[in-house]
Structure 1
């Protein structure tokens, strides 16, 4: 039976009644969010302040860290607010905004990780052409393309496709708004949404996997024919990136599986944790992985003058 009353609010149905445990959970998530902001902002400031880090690889990392701040801010404030409330309700307008922010973060993350794979391929496999291939103008154009493509695409999906649908139900079985669930709750014709989502998802997945596999296939080939020192240098820059890709892919894969398959057999706590992995773990994992593995970043952070300038940059005196 179709609901004739317009849906103005959604209920986030995956929140569990944990009683007084909600306060320790709130504090833990608040500290986690603070760690994400601090670590990413510190590395953004380090790269910005240190002239030795004004190289394509670190500039792309800086853009990645900006995206981590953007993505975590799309989820944590709402999570913290919902944990302390008894009724887990969100307005339709706020839900659509969160969908746009969350999925544009995910799209930009994929774009940036793919771009960084291509950058490593050029640096290791085509070192003589690297300087001419990665000029400041080209770097700015590539970063702008990564961001603008994701923002424009998700603007169209969220407000052009999903936003026009008329929901018949209002219970989303997750702890945050999800585009799949809003489409699923619709009593409008969702054929266009499903076809566009399937074609877009498959095309992007195919392009991303092809480019990353091609880049690292060529890198592996060069490393096998190089000296031990050259291999160590190449691996030193590639391993953090591969770890970041693997971490994000694991979280993203579960989210895709949850959208297409029945995951009711998975316990609710585990399902909630896995669905939040790509939004909560990745933003902290990226700065930790790159900060610990990249020698130049560690050296810049440990320099006394850089550290002092860094604190002043992130926390300017009043």
Structure 2
């Protein structure tokens, strides 16, 4: 396993991040704990989760927390200081006003809930899961800075922010003389490259690490899908077709072109997708969601 430093921190993280969105369903609780243990045994030292994650059982506004509970069961048996835990708040996880967004009240409430579920007294990286137009950016950043001083958050980052939104946040943090974000988590793949236009150059300029998600675009870039064939059993296309792009000729044209590029490098499409991601500006690690150990092996091999 290779490791890269997150600028402005003492964190050296594996170039593969274990994603946990499938935890709970389709990956049952105990299987997910074992999968996490296996990932760490293979050198992966950063785990990405969120307070909303509960696998395919997720519905808008449902309470989430399942993936964090699984991480807690893992941490109960593992040396906490040897793994980097990243979680998030901001998506709707209940009916109270503070159950959505990144207000001071939301951070105060949901950080405590996340730590309780994960059986830890601090979070290494706490993400603002999405921009919150209904909350004061000043209050959000001063509250996050307070959590850092309290030792409950080591560093924070942003997810699903565009370049303009991240730039405004950085300027506000500098004006308030509070901590800047150290990491950014955007969607990025060979099929979805908008983040390369402005966001990743901004992160490179501001010395902010990037850990992209959806690097396989819902499984499309794993080599599972072929023109004229049914979605294979156990794939996103068979289990949750509504979560997958429409399979049509234009998309197959793209996939076949990417597969040809992978062949030129002497690797699989999955390996090529990971390698391409890790070559992009400011990227320190690629988030890989898994359901079985063989997927971890393939990611580590890449």
Q: When the two structures are superposed, what TM-score results if normalisation uses the length of structure 2?
A: 0.27
Higher-Rg member (1/2): 1
Structure with higher helix content: 1
What is the TM-score with the length of structure 1 in the denominator? Answer: 0.26
Q: Which has the higher contact order (CA 8 A, sep 6+)?
A: 1
Higher strand share: 2
